[in-house]
Structure 1
C-alpha cells in the first residue's frame, strides 16, 4: 500500500556559531537570516536538521536527503591561499571547520547541496577557487548594510539573469533564462571560479552570482532568497524547489539505501 503521507525530506543546515551580541550588525543579521532559512525549509515541506560541531557527521549524513549551506561571516582567506586584510568581518575558525566538514561530507555522500552567500563562496573555495576579499565600488551596488550605521538599509536590490537550463533557474520554476530581482548584501565575491563549476548567473558588473556543478546536484547563489522584504511566494519558491530536488534524489536511490 502506498503511503499517502511520504516523509518530509531531511535537510541538514550547519548552525551559526557567532553571537548576535557582536557589535557588528552583520553578525546579528546573519543569525536572523539563518532562522528564516530554517523556517522556509520547514514551510516548503522539509524537516530541517541542525548540524553542530558536536554532530557525528557520518551518522547524520546517512539520515539526510540534502544539505543547505547558509550565509554568515567571511571565510579565512588562508583557505584559498591569501593573507587576511582589515576589511574582513566575523572570521571564525570553528565556523569554517564546521561548514567545510559538512560540505565535504555532503559531496562525498552525493547528496544535493545548495549554498547561499557565504555558502556560495565556500563551495567555490572547496572546488579550488578564490574570493575577492573586499569588493571595490562598481556600477552595481551589492550591499546596503553599513556596520557603522544600524539604521542603514540591509539590502541592495538588482536583477540577475539565470542561465537557461541551470539548476538555479529550475529552483525558480523555469527551464529558460529568467530575470530575478535579488536581495544583495555582501562585500566579497567569487574571483577565480573553482575547477568543475559552471557560472549560471552574472550581475551587470561581472560579479558571479550563481554557480553549479554540472555533474551533480550542487548549486549556489550569492544573493539572499530568504530576505524578509521579498513577497512570501518569491521567498518560498527556491526553497520549495530545493526540497523537491532532495525528495527526487531520495526516491532515485536504490532500494535499501537510506
Structure 2
C-alpha cells in the first residue's frame, strides 16, 4: 500500500480505492481465481487525475480508509439476502457473504470519514442495504419485463430513459435534458434505506439513483457506469476526491 501511495508519480493525485471482484480465469492453460477491477474504472479515474488502488475484500479492509481520498464500489454478484432479512430467491446467485460483510464495513468506514463514494449497480444495492433498505431480488417479478437485463446469448446492456430529481447531485453531474441509463441488472432497490434519497428512476418506476443525505458526495447509480464511454461520474468522483476535507 505505502509503495503505491508514496510513489513520486502519484504525488498530489487523489487515491481512489476500487473494491475488487473475484473471478475464475484460465491463464496460460492454468485455471485460477483472481482479484480484479474493470479496466475502464482504472483508466477513467487515472485520466481524471487520480491513482486507482485495488482493494481486496478481506476482513479489516476498512482500516485502509485513512489512506484513501475516495471509494468506487463497482458492479458484481448478488448480495446475500440474509443481510436484509430475506431468504434467497431461486435466481439469486453468486453470493459471497464474507466479501459482502467486508465491503459493507469498508463503505460504512468511508461514509463515516466523509470520503466521496460512487456506488455502481451492486454497489448501489449494497449502499441501500447498508442503510437498512431491502432489494427486489428478481426485478422481472415486479416489472413484468427483462429490459433491465436483456435475455440475450451475450452480455447486452438495456437502455432506459431516466427521470432525475432536478436539484439532485446526479442531475448536476449528468446535466442533460434526456438522460438514459445503460444497465444490466436483475435486482433493484425495494424499500429505501434510512438517510437515503431516491434521485433517479426508470420509466417503469425502478429506482436508478440514490444519494446519501447530509454527505458531501455519496451517489449510487443502478446503471453500468464504466461499461460505456461516459466518464462523467468518474470525473465527478475524482473532482470530489480532490477537494480539501471539510470543504
TM-score by length of 2: 0.83
- Matched position secondary structure for 1:134: coil
Superposition deviation, residue 218 in structure 1: 1.4
Q: Does 1:239 align with 2:239?
A: no
Q: Does 1:141 align with 2:147?
A: yes
Q: Does 1:119 align with 2:123?
A: yes
Mapped to 1, the partners of 2:172 and 2:161 lie a distance apart of 17
Q: Does 1:129 align with 2:128?
A: no
Partner of residue 5, structure 2? none
Q: Residue 36 of structure 2 contacts residue 54 of structure 2 at CA under 8 Å; is this kept in 1?
A: no
Mapped to 2, the partners of 1:69 and 1:247 lie a distance apart of 18
- Matched position secondary structure for 1:17: strand
Partner of residue 154, structure 1? 156
Superposition deviation, residue 140 in structure 1: 7.3
Partner of residue 83, structure 1? 87
- Segments of 4+ moved more than 6 angstroms: none
- Matched position secondary structure for 2:64: helix
Of the three residues 39, 44, 48, the one matched with 2:43 is: 39
Q: Does 1:223 align with 2:223?
A: yes
Q: Residue 13 of structure 2 contacts residue 51 of structure 2 at CA under 8 Å; is this kept in 1?
A: yes
Equivalent runs, 1:1-258 vs 2, <5 Å? 7-20=12-25, 34-54=38-58, 57=61, 59-136=63-140, 137-138=143-144, 141-144=147-150, 146=152, 149=153, 152-172=154-174, 174=175, 178-216=177-215, 217-227=217-227, 230=228, 232=229, 235-248=230-243, 251-253=244-246
Pair 20,86 (structure 1): closer, same or farther in 2 beyond 3 Å:
farther
Range moving further from structure 2, 128-137 or 58-67: 58-67
RMSD between aligned alpha carbons?
2.5
- Matched position secondary structure for 1:18: strand
Superposition deviation, residue 18 in structure 1: 3.3
Mapped to 2, the partners of 1:212 and 1:97 lie a distance apart of 21
Pair 20,184 (structure 1): closer, same or farther in 2 beyond 3 Å:
farther
Mapped to 2, the partners of 1:45 and 1:113 lie a distance apart of 16
Superimposed CA distance per residue, residues 121-147 of structure 1 (whole angstroms, 9 cap, x where no aligned partner): 00000011000011124367111255x
Range moving further from structure 2, 65-74 or 85-94: 85-94
Range moving further from structure 2, 90-99 or 186-195: 90-99
Superimposed CA distance per residue, residues 174-218 of structure 1 (whole angstroms, 9 cap, x where no aligned partner): 3xx743121110000100000111110011111000000121021
Superposition deviation, residue 83 in structure 1: 0.4
Unpaired runs of 5+ residues, structure 2, are 1-9, 27-34
Mapped to 2, the partners of 1:157 and 1:226 lie a distance apart of 15
User: Number of aligned pairs?
Assistant: 228
